[in-house]
Amino acid sequence: MIRIRKLHTRIIFAFSVLLSMVLIVELAVVNSVVSQSANEAVEHNLLAGERLFNSIQKDNIKRLSQSAGILTSDFAFIKATATGDHNTIVSVLLNHGGRINADISMLVAPDNRLIADTFRSNSSDQKFPFPELIKRAEQHGQTTSIVMLDGKLYQLIVVPVMAPLPVAWLALGFVIDDKFAKNLKDLTGLEVSFLTPISGQERLNVLATTLSANRATDLSSDLRKISETSGASTKVLTLANEAYLARIDHLKIDDGTQAITVLQQSLDVALAPLFNLRWILTALGLFALMATLIAGYKIARNISKPLVDLSLVAQDIEAGHYSQAMVVARDDEVGQLATAFQNMSKGIASREEKISELAYRDRLTGLANRTSFNIAVTEAINYPSGQATTFSILLIDIDRFKEVNDILGHHIGDLLLQEISRRLQASLDQNRTLVARLGGDEFGIFVPTIDQDETIKLSQLILAALDQAISLEGHQLIASGSIGVVQFPTDGADFNALLRHAELAMYTAKRGNSGFALYDPSLESTTQQNLSLMAELKHAIEHNELQLYYQPKVDLRSNTISEVEALIRWIHPKRGVIPPDQFIPFAESTGFIATITEWVIERALEQRAAWQTIGLPLSISINISARDLLNAKLPAKFAQLMQTHNASPDWLSLEITESAIMTDPKGAMHVLNQLRQSGLHMSIDDFGTGYSSLAYLKKLPVNELKIDKSFITDMENDPDDATIVRSTIDLGHNMGLRVIAEGVENQATWDALMAMGCDSIQGYFVSRPLAPEKLMLWIQNSNWKFSPSAHPHLPAGTDHVSS
What CATH number should be reported for the domain holding residue 81? 3.30.450.20
Q: What percent of the chain has pLDDT over 70?
A: 81
User: Residue 437: phi, psi to the nearest 5?
Assistant: -95, 115
Domain annotation covers residue 60: no
| pLDDT for position 691 | 47
Domain annotation covers residue 645: yes
Whether 724 and 597 share a structural domain: yes
pTM of the entire predicted model: 0.44
Residue 54 has pLDDT above 70, yes or no: yes
Element (H, E) at 702: none
Domain endpoint, select from 310, 342, 360: 360
| pLDDT for position 153 | 87
| pLDDT for position 436 | 93
d(C-alpha 454, C-alpha 99), whole Å:
36
Helix residue spans in 410-554 (DSSP H): 410-427, 452-466, 495-512, 522-542
Q: What is the DSSP letter of 113?
A: B
- Lowest-confidence pick of 248-257, 371-380, 397-406, 790-799: 790-799
- Lowest-confidence pick of 63-67, 214-218, 300-304, 389-393: 300-304
Domain annotation covers residue 241: no
| pLDDT for position 769 | 94
Domain endpoint, select from 176, 202, 217: 176
Domain annotation covers residue 707: yes
Whether 460 and 334 share a structural domain: no
669-688: average pLDDT: 87
Domain count, the chain: 4
Residue 541 binned pLDDT confidence (cut-offs 50, 70, 90): confident
Whether 555 and 626 share a structural domain: yes
CA-closest candidate to residue 153, choices 116, 180, 182, 184: 180
| pLDDT for position 801 | 31
Whether 501 and 567 share a structural domain: no
SS3 label, residue 100: coil
Residue 552 binned pLDDT confidence (cut-offs 50, 70, 90): very high
- Tally of CB atoms within 10 A around 537: 23
Domain annotation covers residue 323: yes
- Lowest-confidence pick of 77-81, 148-152, 388-392, 659-663: 659-663
Q: What is the DSSP letter of 324?
A: P
Whether 760 and 637 share a structural domain: yes
Q: What is the pLDDT of residues 556-615, one digit of tens each?
A: 988 999 899 999 999 888 878 888 877 887 777 667 788 899 999 999 999 999 999 988
Q: Angle of helix 522-542 relative to helix 495-512, nearest 10 degrees?
A: 60
d(C-alpha 478, C-alpha 693), whole Å:
14
Whether 379 and 402 share a structural domain: yes
| pLDDT for position 640 | 92
Count of alpha carbons within 13 Å of 326, Cβ hemisphere only?
18
Whether 725 and 590 share a structural domain: yes
Q: What is the CATH number of the domain that holds 426?
A: 3.30.70.270
| pLDDT for position 359 | 74
- Lowest-confidence pick of 525-529, 673-677, 704-708: 525-529
Whether 340 and 391 share a structural domain: no
User: Residue 652: phi, psi to the nearest 5?
Assistant: -125, 150
Whether 299 and 443 share a structural domain: no
Calculate the dihedral angle through the C-alpha atoms of 314, 317, 319, 324, rounding to the nearest 10 degrees: 100
| pLDDT for position 300 | 53
Q: What percent of the chain has pLDDT over 90?
A: 20
Residue 696 binned pLDDT confidence (cut-offs 50, 70, 90): low
| pLDDT for position 795 | 34
717-738: average pLDDT: 92
Whether 623 and 573 share a structural domain: yes
Residue 627 has pLDDT above 60, yes or no: yes
| pLDDT for position 328 | 60
Residue 40 has pLDDT above 70, yes or no: yes
Whether 562 and 599 share a structural domain: yes
- 394 DSSP β-pair partners: 445, 485
Query: In the predicted model, what is the mean pLDDT of the chain?
Result: 80
Q: What is the pLDDT of residues 480-516, one digit of tens each?
A: 889 999 998 888 888 888 998 998 888 888 877 788 9
Domain endpoint, select from 176, 198, 231: 176
Domain annotation covers residue 515: yes
d(C-alpha 597, C-alpha 584), whole Å:
10
Domain ranges, residue 297 = 7-42+279-360
Domain annotation covers residue 673: yes
Residue 15 has pLDDT above 60, yes or no: no
d(C-alpha 143, C-alpha 136), whole Å:
6
Residue 322 has pLDDT above 80, yes or no: no
11-16: average pLDDT: 54
CA 547 to chain centre: 38
352-378: average pLDDT: 83
Whether 471 and 598 share a structural domain: no
Residue 197 has pLDDT above 90, yes or no: no
Domain annotation covers residue 224: no
Amino acid at site 743: G
If one compares 644 and 311, the residue with the highest pLDDT of the two is 644
d(C-alpha 361, C-alpha 353), whole Å:
12
CA-closest candidate to residue 306, choices 288, 286, 332: 332
- 683 DSSP β-pair partners: 655, 704
Q: What is the CATH number of the domain that holds 668?
A: 3.20.20.450
Phi-psi region of 125 (alpha: psi -120 to 50; beta: other; left: phi over 0): left
Please answer whether residues 285 and 303 qualify as being in contact, where contact means their C-beta atoms are separated by less than 8 angstroms.
no
Q: What is the DSSP letter of 89?
A: H
Q: 581, exposed or middle or buried, with CB in 10 Å at 0-12, 13-18, 19+? A: exposed
Residue 278 has pLDDT above 50, yes or no: yes
Please answer whether residues 591 and 575 qualify as being in contact, where contact means their C-beta atoms are separated by less than 8 angstroms.
no
If one compares 525 and 784, the residue with the highest pLDDT of the two is 784
